[in-house]
Structure 1
């Protein structure tokens, strides 16, 4: 620790960050990078694999029902009218000319006029053929594929001497989201709503294999770290609060067993976030694409009783934007389905980021909306978007977002779903376990099925508004001095945290959500020092550099042969208790 007090930060990063990889998996994106870098490589967390299945399933997911019920529809309309009253805009079925409040027009076009062209906003289709295939043969193959959907894999791939174009076996990241629907690919997302996307359509083994393939591709193609060199690297895994212990065990196995890292350590997003912004105590509010989590950190220690998981995020706001426009009849007469057509969701996410904000008055903008139809180039439709301040307010009124379109995965898979902060991972391999369950290669064996099963209550997953969740989380600490400190140290992270006007909206609504009998009259959201979407990743890098030699690090050989091995009977969760000297170093 004396060394940490005297060393120059850049020197410490150079010494320890060059062989330290930080991995932050999320439902929509995975962020991977070297600890010495300023920001990570961010890739959509999905993979599209070539398939010969007939009829073809375009998206392999746990989606059960994309239709909202009548009750949900009524609750959504009621939530809209409540928000309209607060924002002083017209109600859902009210004409502008008969509006109760005068219009306050606000142009929020994000794109400069000189760049507001079709080429700047259109999302191109992915070329699904390997490099070297001519465009004419690509078009010809696409036409033949549309005419004959019964073509199997043997006919598609005839070998190097064939005149037919050769399909790519798998496509990862944003390219996977832009594959034409008529092509023989099935899209898979390993994580959905903060959990492994396991269902009867997507087995656990496939989920883990896809996760391994995506991460391996990023490490090899983006960071240029081949498998043969990874034994010289260590990994910091920054996991979401929503993860259960079995999910974390599988993630560690992917990193150590399959990706061949030498050592690894796991940290929680909330804890990493406070380090990423140089704090020691804060209420961390992580608003991601599909999950929002709230947790309080005190002096570098995560408080498990304050953790709340909310199953909504940025993608739900994007879907609500589409619903709002259709209800006001401002959306063009085109087919837009963000649930089954990923390219439509990409477009809606772009519109949300560029145009949605929170403030009073009518917020409208002109935008170019694209249609993506089978066998046709993208269509361009200039339209006027309205009520752009309503969708992000769904964070405070979640029934507006209808977040239950994607149900959580079956709980039967999480037979050992103990909380990562409350349980001890001091497992030793049982005498009746054979070595066959511990694979040193890339195989997948049911190693965890042989561990004892611990039953504990599932994580709290509430369907309450963001302000109520923050208030509930902080008040659950039970100490007035800590509560006052946390209410003045709220930290918004995640991609949605960059929404204009969100900070002031959170401060105002949290203040009103505090019960009148509580002796608290001040709330404040702290400004993030870096990109809110990358704060947990950055904090993981800092934790990895400072916590480099502690016992929490798991060695590859120990993990493969013995499960979790913690020297001196040290509990794994002790990795969350960093010495005060380290925290002092960060703050300085």
Structure 2
């Protein structure tokens, strides 16, 4: 879409979560991207996004705005003509949410507020409104997403293995099917000698699990749509049975409405080693524009501290939740990391030009992507 329809001369493809850590100046962090339509959680360690830790939640800031509008209507919202289908009204509701809502539990009681409506060809009107707990209840729905009332939709999705890409004849599926039986049997026997495994896992040590790359134009959120390669368990340094049990534990939450705090805990728990988990608990990076509320940093930190496993409370010195990295706007943190990344000398070899894409297609990603494709 970028190279062909929009006419870009060249692009660099990288993962959103890695760009967020790059723009924040962090080497390792649990990245929580609270967007308008979705929320994604991913653990990044030394510039590598852990595939098993990626979660995508089907709610975001627009759902909080819709919930806040419903609560204000119950409290006697004076602007009667406000409609969620009107773009100008949606912008107004977004501004009211960012101005009034908070996550500070020390603030209570009714307070008087006022706001103005400014629309084309209409006079500026002043409205007054009295709000109480509605300002706290609306952002709290991010931690209790069942309050959104979203039905008939998979609320939590994990990254599953791809079935291959017909346009890429050199992916691992093609290589596995075209290998001679002699090569496969000799490779399997060598793997059994090096890595003793149960019989149910024999022959799978060289299988590379990758993400679903069949819809490149539809999946622009690369932070949770790409994956690293797990070859023979060497990346995780775990036995296949331990790896399977962890994936089974993660898959039981698929489809359920997880709050942000629970999604962070499950994402960190899916990491391979205790040292990696300790790093993730020590640094939680919140980007995007869906959690820009007063007191959000302290509230999320308190929730993680209370719900994290007791065994890590002694290992982790402090749970650091970063909502404004380097005192910059969290909404542009990923763009900042991507823009800086594109200017580096080491990135110049990763550019994919329009002619190359038209000639080779998705195969260029195998050569030019900065992560395992």
Per-residue Cα deviation, 1:107-131 (whole angstroms, up to 9, x for no partner)? xxxxxxxxxxxxxxxxxxxxxxxxx
Per-residue Cα deviation, 1:35-69 (whole angstroms, up to 9, x for no partner)? xxxxxxxxxxxxxxxxxxxxxxxxxxxxxxxxxxx
For 1:255, what is the secondary structure of its paired residue?
A: coil
Q: 1:354 — aligned with what?
A: 99
2:26 to 279, 289, 296: 279
Structure 2 residues not aligned, in runs of 5+: 171-213, 216-250
Root mean square deviation, CA, Å: 3.5
- Provide the C-alpha distance between the structure 2 equivalents of 1:280 and 1:513, rounded to a whole number of angstroms: 25
| TM-score with structure 2 setting the length | 0.66
2:325 to 503, 506, 528: 528
- Is residue 2:281 matched to residue 1:540? no
For 2:77, what is the secondary structure of its paired residue?
A: coil
- Compute the displacement of 1:393 (Å): 1.3
- Provide the C-alpha distance between the structure 2 equivalents of 1:423 and 1:476, rounded to a whole number of angstroms: 25
Q: Please list, as runs of the form range in 1=range in 2, the aligned pairs for 1:304-383 lying within 5 A after superposition.
A: 304-327=51-74, 329-332=75-78, 334-338=80-84, 340-360=85-105, 361-362=107-108, 364-369=110-115, 379-383=125-129
Q: 2:293 — aligned with what?
A: 499
| TM-score with structure 1 setting the length | 0.43
Q: Please list, as runs of the form range in 1=range in 2, the aligned pairs for 1:144-163 lying within 5 A after superposition.
A: none
- Provide the C-alpha distance between the structure 1 equivalents of 2:160 and 2:278, rounded to a whole number of angstroms: 31
Q: 2:131 — aligned with what?
A: 385
Q: 1:62 — aligned with what?
A: none
For 1:283, what is the secondary structure of its paired residue?
A: strand
Structure 1 residues not aligned, in runs of 5+: 1-253, 409-416, 430-447, 450-457, 578-588
- Is residue 2:265 matched to residue 1:468? no
Q: Please list, as runs of the form range in 1=range in 2, the aligned pairs for 1:225-264 lying within 5 A after superposition.
A: 254-264=1-11
Per-residue Cα deviation, 1:468-517 (whole angstroms, up to 9, x for no partner)? 00010001103111111110111011113431100111111011222345
- Provide the C-alpha distance between the structure 2 equivalents of 1:403 and 1:542, rounded to a whole number of angstroms: 38
Q: Where does structure 1 differ by over 4 angstroms across 4 or more consecutive aligned residues?
A: 369-379, 417-420, 422-426, 458-462, 517-521, 570-573
- Compute the displacement of 1:572 (Å): 5.4
Query: Structure 1 274/556 Cα, relative in aligned 2: closer, same or farther at 3 Å?
Result: same
Per-residue Cα deviation, 1:530-580 (whole angstroms, up to 9, x for no partner)? 211000001111221224322x4222112112213439xx4555x037xxx
- Compute the displacement of 1:336 (Å): 2.5
Q: 1:559 — aligned with what?
A: 357
User: Does structure 2 conserve the Cα–Cα contact (< 8 Å) formed by 1:307 and 1:460?
Assistant: no
For 2:71, what is the secondary structure of its paired residue?
A: helix
User: Does structure 2 conserve the Cα–Cα contact (< 8 Å) formed by 1:347 and 1:370?
Assistant: no
Give the count of matched residue pairs. 284
Query: Structure 1 545/372 Cα, relative in aligned 2: closer, same or farther at 3 Å?
Result: closer
User: Does structure 1 conserve the Cα–Cα contact (< 8 Å) formed by 2:88 and 2:119?
Assistant: no
Query: Structure 1 537/373 Cα, relative in aligned 2: closer, same or farther at 3 Å?
Result: closer
Over alpha carbons, which structure has the higher Rg? 1
- Provide the C-alpha distance between the structure 1 equivalents of 2:363 and 2:100, rounded to a whole number of angstroms: 50
- Compute the displacement of 1:337 (Å): 2.4
User: Does structure 2 conserve the Cα–Cα contact (< 8 Å) formed by 1:425 and 1:564?
Assistant: no
Per-residue Cα deviation, 1:304-350 (whole angstroms, up to 9, x for no partner)? 110111122212111221222233x3322613221x22222111110
Q: 1:485 — aligned with what?
A: 279
